[in-house]
Structure 1
Amino acid sequence: MQLFLEIIFVCCSLVSVQSLEIFRTPPLPHFDHEWWGPVEEKQHNDTSIRPFQVHFDPGMIEDLRYRLKSHRPFTPPLEGVGFEYGFNTHYLHGWVDYWADQYPFQQQEDFLNQFPQFKTNVQGLDIHFIWVKPEVPPGMEVVPLLLLHGWPGSVREFYGTLPMLATVSRERDFAVEVIAPSLPGFGFSDAAVRPGLGATEMGVVLRNLMHRLGFKKFYVQGGDWGAYIGLCMATLYPKEVLGYHTNLALSITPTAILTWVLGSIYPPLVVDPVLADRMYPILSVVYWLTRETGYLHLQATKPDTLGVSMADSPAGLLAYIYQLFSSGSRRKFYYRSDGGFDDLYSRDELIDNLMIYWITNSFTTSSRIYAETLNLRNINMAVFAIPTPVPTWTIHAKDEIFYQSPTLLKFKYPNLLNSTVLFTGGHFLALEKPQVFADDVLHAIAAFRRWHFNRKHKKYTF
């Protein structure tokens, strides 16, 4: 998800046009609780919390298999290419055949229902969420964690790490209960019926979800779009977000961007030399981002047109989404004809994610997050440029799509407590390395708790 390249270029342009004016911290925007559902339902809003289960309808399975088996012949790839032109169609045949003939539908339906799931209506939208509560001994404190996915992912990314996050340990004086929602318009959560529900507004909806569940204060973890939503929540609600952990840390303040550019003259001033190749040379970073952002421009401008084909062709949906999983997991997979998937993931877990998009027909509505966020409305609000006092902890995989050093991150997160650097892993860290992910999140929560304790002891306030 390379959307932030667009915002970076806009910020840099504003610097050249408005000079020092952009360095003034913009005012914090205020959000009313907009109603995103059908107007006629506003007077009869059901705010109850209702159990939910995933269901693979037999008719849906029959139709899906028919579509997978009845596709037109794929256009052969050029000789000697890997994924340079997109999903290699020689390798696509095996995926389509597996999905139709070997994917264990009933087994995976049961798998997807292993955790308690619910729906509740927030601001006119039925929001789906997984809610995992630990079994704790008497006297142990339980703290809430809001876990946010992105696009083209889903809550399926967290199935491996959820039990690890909720595990009770004698080494900690707390346990974690996890709330992992499907973002509005994604999977089993309703989509808005009118324009305006971007990532910033989603932060408001999900904050209100946590209030609905009884949590006035909570921790947030986000990756991909979840990282941007978490950034917005930490900025808008600094007295409610107790700590923010992210595996896609972004500081898009004008000062951070200019520091990044100026650092190209002498990188050690900005970044540890061991990590300098993740930020410099800038042209290499921009070239890679530009090369991989074709989907972003489509979804930021015409998501509904693109969605027609994705809703009609499961083979097309697979190729489109998993080309992005390949490039987001390892940059070197760009040159492999198999996309490198089998090195990191099982086929069933990847198709589980596709099933969530397919059975809910949510490709179009999920893709609209690009159009609803990458626009002048959100840029003018400039939530991304307002520093937040919320304590923050970041983790950086080797092949994450974008890296910023602590020097840059502290312009947005002055209370940056730690930046964990990995020399392996990619963009879908919770899916690929669930234990590494869980351990880092738990260490972060422990650090957030100590930070708040120390501030309370010294009588500091926000």
Structure 2
Amino acid sequence: MDVLNGRYLRIFGLICMCAVIYNYIGVRKSFDVEKPEISLQQWWGDDDPPDDWAAYLKNTSEVIGNKLMYPDATIDDLREQLNRTLRLTEPLENSNFKNGFNTKELQKIVKYWRDKYLPRWRERELFLWQFNHFTTEIQGLRMHFLHLMVYDENKVGKHHYPVLLLHGWPSSIREFYTLIHKLHQTHLDKNSKYIFNVVVPSLPGFAWSQGTSRVGLGPVEVAVMMRNLMLRLGYNKFFIQGGDLGSLIGSHIATLFPENVYGYHSNLCTVLTGRSSMKGFFNVMFTNFFGTHGFEENIFPHMKQLKHLAEETGYYHLQATKPDTIGAVLTDNPVGLAAYILEKWSSLTNRNYKLYVNGGLNERFTLDALLDNVMIYYLTNSITTSSRIFAENFSQQQISLQMNRVPTDVPTGCARFKHDFIHFQDSQLKDKYCNLIHSTYFKEGGHFIALEMPELLHADFIEFVKKVEKFSKLI
């Protein structure tokens, strides 16, 4: 019986191999889709769209500096909520984080939040406002962003580029703070030839960026807004770095507006197509057929990775189908909000952290940094509006654009960090990213790499910029 099973397996593998060969030789071009026509002036504001778009742009082009400070009453109210008796169910014996957030550890975090963090809130507030914060109106919505510039006297002998940093969920601009410093201060290194102007927006519906009341604001439409923001700031061409949703949005910008992008760098490159899946399955049958550059342990055994993906993406399914329900549960519920957000910072940083009683949250991050991020969601009441983009991403309108099958020639760099929840090989990525010039694998690191290991991400990004200059002849 084992012999028969082995024979059938080989026959099935041969069929798959023939399918892949046919795919490449016979019908490869039929998988490519033309770039869709996307409106650059779609209106997302609550009021009626303008009749005169030129006049609207002229009247709303102002960029305003902001420091959105919160009154003592807001912080006192949060302290009172955290001071309520918690009626949490005891965790199962030795369950650690296997069933989600360990409630004993949650009580410790709430105590720290209330007794140690909140008394220092003004200190944390100053930390959050250390950079220049701005708002401007883009397509009817108030957009919030950080903008750090290097002035003329520092440009001598340097190569000067704008960089757009795009965060994901449940993250925020806070994830990038160390990376922002490293990019902005690159010009201070006498051995570096680069200076960067850094733009870090809060995505629409996240933090201080306004959410829409209209249906249809998905990642493609957000990509248009991010590109329009960069043009508003005077950057006609720029680099992009992003992970999670920021990776998807950055990919869409590179695909839709290649003329505006020097290069696209991501720590979560994905291509979700039938052809990509076939290649992944084919690699299961013939291990490492397409090659993984010594990083096989994070892709094989394949079923182990699929099991991990299924375990850790339940939130994605919930937010892609019922974002307002989870939003209602977490609004005005700071303890629930912290548990929901921080559990993802545990499980997506390292799959083995579920075996730790505290979810490994203090292994790579400080509790202050994690609570900064939670506070941004709480103070801006953005958990519902930030979750809606998942549902929009799976709308029929968004799916019909088939963006995964629209190739781009923009120079692309993909960095894979071991403990992220999904990885794609170069052979899969090149179907979409035809100019994949930078491909790296790391034996550590997870999903929120900009906060976890900013030095490593910065170094990888700089290597990518060097390759873009070399292959694109920018200098």
Structure 1 residues 419 and 315 mapped into 2: Cα distance closer, same or farther (>3 Å)? same
Q: For residues 6-30 of structure 1, what are the alpha-carbon distances to aligned partners after superposition, in whole Å with 9 as ceiling and x for unaligned?
A: xxxxxxxxx9xxx979943222111
Q: Could you say what secondary structure the match of 2:375 adopts?
A: helix
Report the residue type matching 2:195 in the other structure.
A
Q: For residues 424-458 of structure 1, what are the alpha-carbon distances to aligned partners after superposition, in whole Å with 9 as ceiling and x for unaligned?
A: 1111001011111111112212221222217x9xx
Aligned residue pairs, count: 438
Q: Does 1:35 align with 2:39?
A: no
Q: Does 1:366 align with 2:373?
A: no
Once the two structures are overlaid, the 10-residue window that deviates more, 211-220 or 437-446, is 437-446
Where does residue 8 of structure 2 map in the other structure?
A: none
Q: Does 1:115 align with 2:131?
A: yes
Using the aligned pairs only, state the percent identity: 37
Cα offset for 1:47? 2.3
Where does residue 65 of structure 2 map in the other structure?
A: 51
Where does residue 300 of structure 1 map in the other structure?
A: 320
Once the two structures are overlaid, the 10-residue window that deviates more, 222-231 or 440-449, is 440-449
Matches within 5 A, 1:127-138: 127-135=143-151, 136-138=154-156
Once the two structures are overlaid, the 10-residue window that deviates more, 254-263 or 362-371, is 254-263
Instruction: Give the conservation status (yes or no) of the 8 Å contact 1:267–1:273.
Output: no
Match of 1:280 among 285, 289, 300: 300
CA distance, structure 2, for counterparts of residue 147 and residue 311 of structure 1? 27
Where does residue 26 of structure 1 map in the other structure?
A: 33
Q: For residues 199-225 of structure 1, what are the alpha-carbon distances to aligned partners after superposition, in whole Å with 9 as ceiling and x for unaligned?
A: 111000000000000111111111000
Match of 2:395 among 375, 397, 410: 375
CA distance, structure 2, for counterparts of residue 396 and residue 414 of structure 1? 18
Instruction: Give the conservation status (yes or no) of the 8 Å contact 2:438–2:467.
Output: no
Where does residue 250 of structure 1 map in the other structure?
A: 270
CA distance, structure 2, for counterparts of residue 87 and residue 42 of structure 1? 47
Once the two structures are overlaid, the 10-residue window that deviates more, 219-228 or 260-269, is 260-269
Match of 1:224 among 244, 251, 260: 244
Higher relative contact order (CA 8 A, sep 6+): 1
Cα offset for 1:420? 1.7
Please report the TM-score for the alignment, with normalisation by the length of structure 1. Answer: 0.91
Once the two structures are overlaid, the 10-residue window that deviates more, 165-174 or 346-355, is 165-174
Q: Does 1:163 align with 2:181?
A: yes
Cα offset for 1:272? 2.8
Q: For residues 308-359 of structure 1, what are the alpha-carbon distances to aligned partners after superposition, in whole Å with 9 as ceiling and x for unaligned?
A: 1211210000001111110011110011110101111111100000111001
- Kindly name which structure, 1 or 2, has the bigger radius of gyration based on alpha carbons: 2
CA distance, structure 2, for counterparts of residue 111 and residue 98 of structure 1? 18
Cα offset for 1:421? 1.3
Q: Could you say what secondary structure the match of 1:371 adopts?
A: helix
- Provide structure 1 residue ranges, at least 5 long, that are not aligned to the other structure: 1-14, 457-462
Once the two structures are overlaid, the 10-residue window that deviates more, 170-179 or 422-431, is 170-179
Please report the TM-score for the alignment, with normalisation by the length of structure 2. Answer: 0.89
Report the residue type matching 1:225 in the other structure.
L
Once the two structures are overlaid, the 10-residue window that deviates more, 138-147 or 325-334, is 138-147
CA distance, structure 2, for counterparts of residue 241 and residue 452 of structure 1? 12
Q: Does 1:335 align with 2:355?
A: yes
Instruction: Give the conservation status (yes or no) of the 8 Å contact 1:56–1:105.
Output: no
Instruction: Give the conservation status (yes or no) of the 8 Å contact 1:129–1:181.
Output: yes
CA distance, structure 1, for counterparts of residue 472 and residue 174 of structure 2? 32
Instruction: Give the conservation status (yes or no) of the 8 Å contact 2:240–2:265.
Output: yes
Structure 1 residues 174 and 72 mapped into 2: Cα distance closer, same or farther (>3 Å)? closer
Where does residue 356 of structure 1 map in the other structure?
A: 376
Match of 2:423 among 403, 410, 414: 403
Match of 2:116 among 96, 102, 110: 102
Match of 1:260 among 280, 284, 289: 280
Q: Could you say what secondary structure the match of 1:417 adopts?
A: strand
Cα offset for 1:41? 7.1
Where does residue 124 of structure 1 map in the other structure?
A: 140
Q: Does 1:444 align with 2:452?
A: no
CA distance, structure 2, for counterparts of residue 52 and residue 316 of structure 1? 29
Q: Could you say what secondary structure the match of 1:102 adopts?
A: helix
- Provide structure 2 residue ranges, at least 5 long, that are not aligned to the other structure: 1-18
Match of 1:88 among 88, 95, 102: 102
Q: Could you say what secondary structure the match of 1:177 adopts?
A: strand
Where does residue 195 of structure 1 map in the other structure?
A: 215
Cα offset for 1:273? 6.7
CA distance, structure 2, for counterparts of residue 197 and residue 273 of structure 1? 38
Instruction: Give the conservation status (yes or no) of the 8 Å contact 2:312–2:348.
Output: no
Q: Does 1:271 align with 2:291?
A: yes
Q: Does 1:143 align with 2:166?
A: no
Cα offset for 1:163? 1.1
Q: For residues 86-123 of structure 1, what are the alpha-carbon distances to aligned partners after superposition, in whole Å with 9 as ceiling and x for unaligned?
A: 10001001110111111020100000011111011000
CA distance, structure 2, for counterparts of residue 263 and residue 80 of structure 1? 37
Instruction: Give the conservation status (yes or no) of the 8 Å contact 1:53–1:117.
Output: yes
CA distance, structure 2, for counterparts of residue 164 and residue 30 of structure 1? 37
CA distance, structure 1, for counterparts of residue 239 and residue 224 of structure 2? 15
Q: For residues 31-88 of structure 1, what are the alpha-carbon distances to aligned partners after superposition, in whole Å with 9 as ceiling and x for unaligned?
A: 1121001124747652210001141321110111111111531111111101111100
Instruction: Give the conservation status (yes or no) of the 8 Å contact 2:409–2:434.
Output: yes
Cα offset for 1:376? 2.2
CA distance, structure 2, for counterparts of residue 297 and residue 106 of structure 1? 37
Instruction: Give the conservation status (yes or no) of the 8 Å contact 1:329–1:400.
Output: yes
Structure 1 residues 273 and 139 mapped into 2: Cα distance closer, same or farther (>3 Å)? closer
Instruction: Give the conservation status (yes or no) of the 8 Å contact 1:253–1:386.
Output: no
